[in-house]
Amino acid sequence: MEELTINIPLLKKEEAELTPTEATLLQKAKQATYRSYSPYSHFSVGAAALLDDGTIVEGANQENSAYPSGLCAERTAVFYAGAQYPERAVTLLCVAARDTDGKFTARPIPPCGGCRQVLSETEDRQKQPMRIMLYGTDGIYFINTAKDLLPIHFDTTYFLQSTIHN
């Protein structure tokens, strides 16, 4: 038996340490939380995606009583970017959340598993990494690539290998 360890680099910054581009993206993600439709969870999430040409697109979580028909903010932003700007790559995705009291969360909120898979596959499709910026009032986490959020991810390599060998 062999035990393996996966280490993920994480950079923590304070808001005052952000570059002007990062600060703008953060403000857009925070503003997007106010466009959340979350009457069931009362947990508002906003995302802002920076494209490789400087365009910023935003998304917010959208819930539905026919659970799980809603969609997370991260997927809303990334799918919108892919639908409206298919030739552009998402280079940085910022996520912010407000809790049930309407206050921004102290700790950064990471994407759910479904979003992690979508972000990983988006990186595959665009053939370049996407940095992730997770906002919390106690600090902002930066992850170098979406793959770090889901280090053992499913991709077409696994699918192709399993279909070829069966």
In the block, tokens 């991709």 appear at: 155
74 part of the active site: yes
Six-digit token pair at 130?
A: 């996407």
List the catalytic residue out of 74, 87, 121, 123: 74
Helices (H) and strands (E) in the chain, counts: 4, 6
Residues in CB range of 17: below 8 A, 6 or more apart: none
The SS3 assignment for 135 reads strand
**So which residues are the catalytic ones?**
74
